[in-house]
């Protein structure tokens, strides 16, 4: 594997875990609460308030988002990444094993799907049935939170086959087409970034073409497009934002939030904080606008809302863009159980080794 890809993969895997572990301090808070609880901004694991929710994790410990990300990743490393090798039943079993062993932080929909008595025999049917029972309205971020792991699929060999795999893994638990769309865009952007292609708007465009060729729901595709535009359009105002950061470096990221469009995503107020499009957009916003890993991650986390999940996706994309060496060392070293990340990374070397 080229050293650049290895470096960016390390960024992706560690970035996911860091964003998740740091974001847990912001989960379920409004942006207003975040400013009250963390007047200096949340930027260290040790700052995280030991509330009844966040207190169930140690400082620096990742949550369900990265557990499921690793379940997918480790399954792919065992089975192979080609469409015919990916073992969906094995991924479903790993989700269930994690739930039995730990289960902390699991989302409502994922919980009812995984605990259904027929889940292991027919996960796709169960996920669809439960989504339909909820009036087909529910499109939470429980699949997009784990999807950056699919950057390692062989996209360059067969784009549509990789896209089908993304969809199949999403639909193990989440049947709504908005979930599949957000997973496809996020996975493909992650795949491009890992391979050194930083043209995020271009990657989104190609993912949209790919989703249509896959036959994904068109109305959900239009909604995806509008969220992508909302996430990326702040670019127009970037010059102004940078000017403001110059005035107040310590609080710079808050000012930049106002001027570069993160506020439009309403991460920490209003209903639907765990909406899959919102999480995808937070990741795209961060990876596209940031000047560094921290510069993208901190405003996302400090916006509150579903901050660990938004942080996980933003962290993965930012890590893929800035690479392992772009991650602040204290966040890398403060992670609990990081040996598991290193073990997965070591096994990834041969997987992507023959692709370029």
Neighbours of 213 (CB within 10 A): 11
List binders of Mg ion among 225-244 (CB under 5 A). none
What number of chain residues touch Mg ion (CB under 5 A)? 5
CB of 312 to Mg ion, least distance (A): 7
Q: Of 13, 75, 3, nearest to 316 (Cα)?
A: 13
Span from 98-106, 175-183, 217-225, 336-344 in contact with Mg ion (CB under 5 A): 98-106
64 interacts with Mg ion by CB under 5 A: yes
Which position among 7, 61, 65, 74 is part of the footprint of Mg ion (CB under 5 A)? Answer: 65
Using CB under 5 A as the binding rule, the residues of this chain from 148 to 187 that contact Mg ion are none
Determine the interface stretch with Mg ion among 61-69, 253-261, 265-273, 317-325 (rule: CB under 5 A).
61-69
Residue 63 binds Mg ion (CB under 5 A): yes
242 burial type by CB count under 10 A (0-12 exposed, 13-18 middle, 19+ buried): middle
290-319: contacts with Mg ion (CB under 5 A)? 308
Between CA 317 and CA 140 the distance in angstroms is 19
The set of residues, in sequence order, having a beta carbon less than 8 Å from that of 179 and lying 6+ positions away, is 139, 140, 142, 143, 144, 170, 171, 276
Q: Judged by CB, which is closer to Mg ion: 96, or 225?
A: 96
Which residue in 60, 105, 234, 252 binds Mg ion (CB under 5 A)?
105
Q: Is 61 one of the binding residues for Mg ion (CB under 5 A)?
A: no
Angle formed by the axes of helices 307-322 and 64-79, to 10°?
Answer: 50
CB–CB of 315/297 below 8 Å? Answer: yes
Q: Looking at residue 151, what DSSP letter applies?
A: G
Pick the closer one to Mg ion by CB: 142 or 154. 142
Minimum CB separation from Mg ion for residue 138, in Å? 17
Binding site for Mg ion (CB under 5 A): 63-65, 105, 308
């Amino acid at each position: 594997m080229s050293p650049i890809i290895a470096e960016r993969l390390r960024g992706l895997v560690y970035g996911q875990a860091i964003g998740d572990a740091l974001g847990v301090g912001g989960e379920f808070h409004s942006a207003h609460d975040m400013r009250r609880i963390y007047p200096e901004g949340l930027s260290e694991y040790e700052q995280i308030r030991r509330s009844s929710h966040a207190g169930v994790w140690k400082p620096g410990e990742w949550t369900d988002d990265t557990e499921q990300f690793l379940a997918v990743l480790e399954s792919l490393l065992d089975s192979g990444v080609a469409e015919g090798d990916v073992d969906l039943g094995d991924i479903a079993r790993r989700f269930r094993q994690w739930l039995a062993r730990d289960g902390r932080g699991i989302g409502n929909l994922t919980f009812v799907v995984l605990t259904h008595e027929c889940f292991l025999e027919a996960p796709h049917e169960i996920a669809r049935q439960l989504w339909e029972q909820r009036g087909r309205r529910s499109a939470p971020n429980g699949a997009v939170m784990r999807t950056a792991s699919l950057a390692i699929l062989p996209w360059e060999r067969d784009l549509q086959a990789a896209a089908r795999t993304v969809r199949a893994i999403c639909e193990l638990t989440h049947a709504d087409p908005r979930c599949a769309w957000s997973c496809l865009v996020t996975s493909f952007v992650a795949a491009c970034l890992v391979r050194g292609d930083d043209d995020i708007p271009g990657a989104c465009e190609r993912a949209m073409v790919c989703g249509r060729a896959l036959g994904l729901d068109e109305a959900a595709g239009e909604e995806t497009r509008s969220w992508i535009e909302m996430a990326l359009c702040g670019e127009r105002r970037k010059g102004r934002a940078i000017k403001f950061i110059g005035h107040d470096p310590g609080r710079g990221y808050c000012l930049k939030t106002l001027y570069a469009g993160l506020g439009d995503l309403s991460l920490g107020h209003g209903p639907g904080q765990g909406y899959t499009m919102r999480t995808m957009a937070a990741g795209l916003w961060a990876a596209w606008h940031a000047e560094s890993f921290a510069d993208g991650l901190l405003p996302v986390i400090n916006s509150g809302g579903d901050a660990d999940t938004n942080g996980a996706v933003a962290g993965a994309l930012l890590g893929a863009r800035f690479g392992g060496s772009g991650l602040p060392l204290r966040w890398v070293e403060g992670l609990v159980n990081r040996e598991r990340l290193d073990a997965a990374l070591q096994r990834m070397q041969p997987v992507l080794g023959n692709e370029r």
